[in-house]
Amino acid sequence: MSLLQKPEIRVTLIFLLTSSCWIIFSDMLLASISKTVGLDEQTGQTIKGLLYILVISLIIYFGVKKASQKLQNSFEEYKALFDSHPAPMWIFDTDLKFVRVNNAAVLKYGYTADEFLNMHIKDIRPKEEIEKLYRHIENVEPGYTESGIWTHKKKNGEIIKASVATHDVTYNNKKCLLVMAADITDVVQAREQLQASERSLSVIINNTKDLIWSFDTNMKLTAFNEPFAKAVKENIGIKATKGQDICADYESADTTREWIPYYKKALGGESFSTMHTGIAPNGQAYYMEATFNAITNEEGEVTGVVCFSRDVTDKQTQEEKIKQQNTALKEIAFTNSHIVRRPLSNLLGLTDMLSEDSVTDTLHRQVIENIKISALELDEVIREIARKAYAFKEQNG
């Protein structure tokens, strides 16, 4: 604002200019009039003084009227701004009574403006928050204050959550407090649901034996579960914390050097699984299945990777066991279909020979001997089948 736009400067300049002009020109004008109408000097000076008072009075009147009109316009603008503000607003005095409310408050809380003006501010609070309200008002600092989230009660009994901000004001010459209350019930409920989901998810991921971790495009650790933290502590000897570089900080781990190409591949947008083997401290072989999944935003840009690592030793062992079982079953089936068949076929042929009328005693004895040999072979085959069957049973409990 320039100096000439300030009311006090403008009034002062107008007064100085008018007074200066009056002093310079009034005597000349008075002398001319006196010669014309024949006024004496004393009468002329009296008229001069009265005219000066009249001019200054008119200037002051129109100046004050203009300033008053401007002030009234400004008041109406602020009043309209308050009344039409989209957020519920009200003003209450030192008696904690409503002295003014806007249209949004009327619509949100269900009370009419007249009902509000006959109410105490505790009337829109549940009973359990009234004492807290009194304590807060006693400690409100002058100026703008963010009072936090409060529980409010509408006329129909509905409970809402409001984010409240206040500012001390003077209204009708009384100290008051201006309040703006934004309904954030949906936000609070969504936040509570999200927190509940996060707690549930945390319980799930921390009670699995799988290792779960994620990192951003800078290879910085962004999240992990307790099994992952335990594995890092046991294998590397450091505490896992968010922000760690999963390559540089975990460089001492053999698996890190092995997995860096997989990390980079996943950051390229691919999702895939790999199998890893090794020897545990107890000398037993182990198998780990790792899954790498790219994390993308709404635009499809990769923002990180989430990894899952699962011990599949039991699964692999079971699969190997099944393979061995299948091999044993195939051997037994082969024995039944081929090895047993040979002595059995011999026996059938020999019995056919015994049924012929031309069998001599010598041939009879040879047939009997061959039957004995084939029977012994069959017995040995059956024993072998029994042995393999017993071994199969032992392997499968």
Domain that holds residue 301: 208-311
Last residue of a domain, one of 290, 311, 332: 311
Q: Taking Cα atoms as reference points, which of 24, 29, 21, 64 lies closest to residue 47?
A: 29
329 found inside a domain: yes
Low-confidence ranges of the chain (pLDDT < 50): none
CATH of the domain at 115: 3.30.450.20
Predicted local confidence at residue 123, as pLDDT: 95
Burial class (CB in 10 A: 0-12, 13-18, 19+), 390: exposed
Q: What total number of domains does the chain contain?
A: 4
Predicted local confidence at residue 248, as pLDDT: 81
Predicted local confidence at residue 55, as pLDDT: 75
- Residue 92 CA to residue 216 CA, distance in Å, equals 51
201 found inside a domain: no
Question: Got the DSSP string for 101-161?
Answer: E-HHHHHHH---HHHHTT-BGGGGS-GGGHHHHHHHHHTPPSS-EEEEEEEEE-TTS-EEE
Predicted local confidence at residue 99, as pLDDT: 94
Predicted local confidence at residue 59, as pLDDT: 74
194 found inside a domain: no
Q: Taking Cα atoms as reference points, which of 69, 75, 125 lies closest to residue 98?
A: 125
Predicted local confidence at residue 343, as pLDDT: 62
Q: Taking Cα atoms as reference points, which of 170, 147, 149, 175 lies closest to residue 160?
A: 149
Predicted local confidence at residue 200, as pLDDT: 76
Same domain, 95 and 65: no
- Return the structure tokens found at 158: 């509905």
Could you tell me the end-to-end alpha-carbon distance of the chain, in angstroms, rounded to an integer?
96
CB-CB contact of 159 with 186 (8 Å):
no
Q: Taking Cα atoms as reference points, which of 397, 342, 396 lies closest to residue 373?
A: 342
110: left (phi over 0), alpha (psi -120 to 50) or beta: left
